Amino acid sequence: MGTMKQLLYIAIALVLLACNKKEVGPQHYLEEVELSAGGVYIVNEGNFMWGNGSVSFYQPNEQEVTSSVFQGVNGVPLGDVPQSMVKFNANYYIMVNSSGKIEVVDTASFSSVATITGLNSPRYFLGISPGKAYVTDLYSNGVSIINLTTHQLQGQIPVNGWTEALLMASNKVFVANKGADYVVVIDPNLDVVTDTIVLSKTPNSMVVDGNDKLWVLCDGGVSEEQPVLYRINPNSLVIEQSFTFANINASPGNLQINAEGTTLYFLNQDVFKMNTLANALPGSPFILAGGRLLYGLGIDPKTEEVYVADAVDYVQQGVVWRYGVNAAYVDSFKAGIIPGFFYFD
Amino acid sequence: MLVQGQDDTLQLKEFNVEARITVTEPYKRLVFDSLLRINAPTNLAEVLTNQSTVYVKSYGQSGLATLSIRGTGASHTQIYWNGVVVNSPTLGQIDVAQLPAWLIDEAELHYGSGSLVDGSGGLGGGLQLNSLPQWGRAQVELQQVIGSYGEMQSGLKARYGTSKWQGVSKLLWQQQENDYPYRDFTQQETPTVNLANANYKQWGAVQEVYGKIGMHDQVSARLWYFNSDRAIPTIMTIAPGTATQTDVSFKSMLEWSRAKGRWRHQFKTALLSDELTYTDPDAALQSEVDTRSSKSQYRLKHYGKSTTYTAAAFYDHDQALSSGFDEVKVQDRAALFVNYEQNIGQQLLLTLMARQEMIDGKASPFAPSLGMRYWLEKSERFGVKINISKNYRAPTLNDLYWNLGGNPELRPEEGWSAEGGVIYGDGTPYSLEVTGFYSTVTNWIQWLPNADGVWAPQNLLEVENKGIEVVNELGFYLGSMKVALNAAYTYVNAINKASAHAPSIEGKQLIYVPQHKLSGNAVVAWKKYFARYNHQYTGKAYLTTDNIAYMPYFAPANLQIGRRIQQKKHVLTISAEVRNLYDEAYQVIAYRPMPGRHYRVIINYRWEP
């Protein structure tokens, strides 16, 4: 009976398939990882609850890119929604937001040194001293204090709501309190909040310029208020200047600055560039989005080249575009899924 | 008609065919009846996973499960309870893991535009879940399932009454700790850990009353209540959380039908209510969705000598209050449907159906369908069938009104589909059904950030699906042993044909649509014993629209062995089941582990006075 035979073959094939040693879970091609100094790391968020975040490495001189550096070196996926990464001491610290952890890797090899767990939703990292760092958080209602010697969560400085960007200026730590429309000031020796600067809705990014002024960009929430860019004196905590965006629907973010601290860059659909001494917001874009949904922005401190990321349809490798100081196209390459953050080594 | 393999320890059911809304022969369908019961499935997701080549996107055992038929999305399968659609008006889809098999008598899957007979929106198909009277039959059935990882399932079913009226009562209670172990490949030491925060407790009740009035009329009332409390697990790379979800679902229906001479009338009206509460303390999040719907329909059918006419009118009202809306959102739908069937000679059947719908006073696309079945021989064993249809899916309330991002300007997704096939035999001893299909969907809705960075749905994609489905069945006796075998295979090539935003994905397979799915069942019955072996193979499915990452294939198997003990009118069936027989480690959805080998004991007692 021909059909019986056919069915038997199918059954045998199925049993063989089932017994075969096989791949489990998500798979993708992993390249040999070769890191070199002076490269650009791209933190790719991936999709929330898909576990497909990654770090890509780009070498600007050779124009070569390596995907999934963490997984390629360590053999396990990075986690869910990595948000940012920074070099401190001799390690890179990668905030993996939705996985509630910080991956600590060696700067030379990217091999895992430690995993700091127990965080709720880490966003950004600021090294305070060789043994201590602050990490902002989406949900934990506070800034986490990390012990960098034991790689453990040591405590928390209570701050209401979402804390986002943070930096040090005039020996104080400034934290963009995205959930409460404040910039919170922390004394890094005492780990306590000492002051609160009231701004407009949703401060999302900050930089310090060459004159030691603090710049804070508030996006105004989702069409709730007009976005505002503030210049603040970090010593007196006085708002020295504020630039209000005309369009209430605009959602500017990703405030960056060049190494000299003279030119601000931010995303507002297009890429904008603004001198720190200017007395008005830039009228025309520096780089046009041109149909792309620009998601991440980075400025190479060595060359002042501009890197922007386009997440395309958010379910495929995003594209990173690299432009020269005169906004001329230099290169483009594929990073991971939803590239959102650049770290320039 | 192809019937999936079943053994003789299971009773056949007498279905009240008149009350059924079904598609005619030019359209493919698949009926699950006794298979709803043979291995005491917890829910419909399990039934469809094991018994069809429909791709069930399962987020873990008893976790969220949605269906993808012929490469379409979850909201392209419309699910009907006794003829009224129960897909959420806000989400457009329904979690089939929340539809317990115990409370359903029969399920029927209508592929592709065959689902136009039920309603619009079934670009992939429609799944009918029916409960039916069995006149003059009294029955009490009790079932207890005890399984691994704290699984307990207790069910009671009773049918009672006379040849004039019948009452049906069903009760179900099920729970599971669901803390199954899995190898965590996302950690360097690949430790074995237990799934956390995945337990559930559910109970449900159904009460139905059917009555015959005089010679021609039949009335019925149906009530359905289901209460589900479950914990929502995270993925492997996220530490276990404490999120939970409660679903309370209530459905009710009154129906009148008359069969007089050549005319059939049927009127039904249903009230549905669903309340969903999702709580995630870690993210300080609580979201609620409450929907209320009323759905009414009238069908008139005339059986002529060689023609059948059907005309139907539908009116649905949905209202929803969701944490995502700024106020109660309402949608009204009115539809007219006609169907005409013409037999020419004994061998040829031509059908024409059409549906026109108005949503909130706006005309939806006209949806016609033309079908033909031809028996190549008079014995009706070998035939060909073809059909071509237009269908569409209207945007959901979330698509239209989600705050922020909802886009009231969205147009319906529109699709053309064609299907052609060959049918041979009736399963004794052999039958074969081969169906090829082709469809395109334009204005496919996709959520993406808009220029202001707000996620918003847009009519963006054009998708083309084509493929082939093969179903083989074989039934024979080996001495006193009855053997039933079936094997089904589906090939789906579902590609992004045009994307306004991301031309790089053109020609690439859609994500989470495996190209190959194979399912095989072998059932043997010998004296009082029976055994069933089920094996499925699901090929790799891409995870990214540029097709660089994928989920590998998986091929779990199940084995069930049982014995029936009968004493006069008492039937006790005891069986043991090994699921995932070869202890395969696999995931359907990325980083959502499925359980390894595990066990169940099913004790079923039936008394038929």
Give the tens place of pLDDT for each residue, A55-76: 999 999 999 999 999 999 999 9
Could you tell me how many helices (H) and strands (E) chain A has, helices first? 2, 28
Strands (E) located in B345-395: 348-359, 362-363, 367-375, 382-393
Q: How confident is the model at residue B283 (pLDDT cuts 50, 70, 90)?
A: confident
Angstrom distance (rounded) from CA A76 to CA B189: 10
pLDDT, mean of each 10-residue run, chain A (345 residues):
60 59 86 90 96 97 95 96 96 97 97 96 97 96 97 97 96 95 97 96 96 96 92 97 95 96 96 97 95 92 97 94 96 96 96
Q: What letter would DSSP give residue B554?
A: B
Contacts of A25 in chain B (CB under 8 A): 185-186, 236, 551-552, 587, 590-591
Q: What letter would DSSP give residue B552?
A: P
Cβ distance A98 to B448 less than 8 Å, yes or no, reads: no
Element (H, E) at A19: helix A2-19
Question: What sign results for the dihedral spanned by CA atoms B96, B97, B98, B101?
Answer: positive
Predicted local distance difference test score (pLDDT) of residue B23: 61
Cβ distance A27 to B485 less than 8 Å, yes or no, reads: no
SS3 of B270, please? Answer: strand
Cβ distance B551 to A315 less than 8 Å, yes or no, reads: no
Angstrom distance (rounded) from CA B110 to CA B517: 18
From the list B474, B520, B553, the residue facing A3 with the nearest CB is B474
Q: How confident is the model at residue B18 (pLDDT cuts 50, 70, 90)?
A: very low
Nearest CA in chain B to A71: B186
Q: Which residues pair with A238 in a beta bridge?
A: A233
Q: How confident is the model at residue B41 (pLDDT cuts 50, 70, 90)?
A: confident
Contacts of A293 in chain B (CB under 8 A): 448-449
Give how far A212 is from chain B: nearest CA, Å. 31
Q: Are A136 and A165 in contact (CB under 8 A)?
A: yes
CB of A249 within 8 Å of any CB in chain B?
Answer: yes
Contacts of B487 in chain A (CB under 8 A): 7, 10
Q: How confident is the model at residue B192 (pLDDT cuts 50, 70, 90)?
A: very high
Cβ distance A316 to B183 less than 8 Å, yes or no, reads: no
Contacts of B263 (CB under 8 A, 6+ apart): B300, B301, B302, B303
Nearest CA in chain A to B473: A3
Give how far B456 is from chain A: nearest CA, Å. 12
Angstrom distance (rounded) from CA B114 to CA B419: 10
Angstrom distance (rounded) from CA B48 to CA B104: 14
Q: What's the Rg (C-alpha) of chain B? A: 24
Predicted local distance difference test score (pLDDT) of residue B5: 31
Give how far A321 is from chain B: nearest CA, Å. 16
Nearest CA in chain A to B547: A316
Predicted local distance difference test score (pLDDT) of residue A5: 64
Contacts of A105 in chain B (CB under 8 A): none
Query: At residue A255, what are phi and psi to the nearest 5 degrees?
Result: -65, 125
Q: Are B71 and B79 in contact (CB under 8 A)?
A: no
Question: What sign results for the dihedral spanned by CA atoms A269, A275, A277, A278?
Answer: negative
Predicted local distance difference test score (pLDDT) of residue B13: 30
Of A267, A203, A274, nearest to A239 by C-alpha is A203
ipTM above 0.85, yes or no: yes
CB of A16 within 8 Å of any CB in chain B?
Answer: no
Angstrom distance (rounded) from CA B281 to CA B278: 10
Query: At residue A74, what are phi and psi to the nearest 5 degrees?
Result: -100, -10
Contacts of A52 in chain B (CB under 8 A): 543, 549, 590
Of A177, A234, A245, nearest to A209 by C-alpha is A234
Query: Residue range B157-163: average pLDDT?
Result: 93
From the list A25, A75, A117, the residue facing B591 with the nearest CB is A25
Angstrom distance (rounded) from CA A339 to CA A55: 9
Predicted local distance difference test score (pLDDT) of residue B14: 27
Of B252, B234, B253, nearest to B243 by C-alpha is B234
Cβ distance A14 to B520 less than 8 Å, yes or no, reads: yes
The gap between the terminal CA atoms of chain B, to the nearest Å, is: 32
- Kindly provide the b/e burial profile for residues A102-117, where b requires at least 16 CB atoms within 10 angstroms of the residue's own CB: bbbbeeeebebbebbe
Cβ distance B452 to A25 less than 8 Å, yes or no, reads: no
Q: Quick check: B180 pLDDT over 80?
A: yes
Nearest CA in chain B to A50: B590
Cβ distance A27 to B552 less than 8 Å, yes or no, reads: yes
Please state, in angstroms and as integers, the Cα–Cα distance from residue B116 to each residue in B112, B336, B354, following that order. 8, 11, 8
Tokens found for residue A249: 């629907």
Cβ distance A76 to B518 less than 8 Å, yes or no, reads: no
Tokens found for residue B531: 């055994």
Query: Residue range B278-288: average pLDDT?
Result: 91
Give how far A157 is from chain B: nearest CA, Å. 18
Predicted local distance difference test score (pLDDT) of residue A328: 97
Query: At residue A12, what are phi and psi to the nearest 5 degrees?
Result: -65, -45
CB of A20 within 8 Å of any CB in chain B?
Answer: no
Query: At residue B495, what are phi and psi to the nearest 5 degrees?
Result: -125, 150
- Kindly provide the b/e burial profile for residues B405-424, where b requires at least 16 CB atoms within 10 angstroms of the residue's own CB: bbbeebebbbbebbbbbebb
Cβ distance B582 to A50 less than 8 Å, yes or no, reads: no
Predicted local distance difference test score (pLDDT) of residue B112: 86
Element (H, E) at A17: helix A2-19
- Residue A146 CB neighbour total at 10 angstroms: 26
Cβ distance A28 to B549 less than 8 Å, yes or no, reads: yes
Higher pLDDT, B584 or B426: B584
- Residue A194 CB neighbour total at 10 angstroms: 12
Predicted local distance difference test score (pLDDT) of residue A297: 97
Query: Residue range B568-577: average pLDDT?
Result: 94
Alpha helices in B67-216, H assignment, sequence order: none
- Kindly provide the b/e burial profile for residues B483-496, where b requires at least 16 CB atoms within 10 angstroms of the residue's own CB: bbbbbbbbbbebbb
Q: Are B50 and B373 in contact (CB under 8 A)?
A: no
Q: Are B370 and B387 in contact (CB under 8 A)?
A: yes
CA angle in degrees (0–180, nearest 5) for B78-B80-B81: 160
Q: How confident is the model at residue B17 (pLDDT cuts 50, 70, 90)?
A: very low
The alpha carbon torsion through B51, B52, B58, B63 (nearest 10 deg) reads: -40
Give how far A255 is from chain B: nearest CA, Å. 16
SS3 of B546, please? Answer: coil
The alpha carbon torsion through B526, B532, B533, B536 (nearest 10 deg) reads: 150
**For chain B, what's the residue count?**
609
The alpha carbon torsion through A167, A170, A172, A173 (nearest 10 deg) reads: 0
pTM above 0.90, yes or no: yes
Angstrom distance (rounded) from CA A94 to CA A101: 8
Write out pLDDT tens, residues B343-384: 998 899 999 999 999 999 999 999 999 999 999 988 888 999
Predicted local distance difference test score (pLDDT) of residue B378: 81
**For chain A, what's the residue count?**
345
Tokens found for residue B401: 């009104």
Write out pLDDT tens, residues B384-411: 999 999 999 999 999 999 998 999 999 9
Predicted local distance difference test score (pLDDT) of residue A21: 63
Give how far B126 is from chain A: nearest CA, Å. 28
CB of A112 within 8 Å of any CB in chain B?
Answer: yes
Cβ distance A74 to B188 less than 8 Å, yes or no, reads: yes
Unique residue bearing structure tokens 């039949």: B218
Query: Residue range B90-107: average pLDDT?
Result: 91
Unique residue bearing structure tokens 């059409």: B354
Predicted local distance difference test score (pLDDT) of residue B4: 32
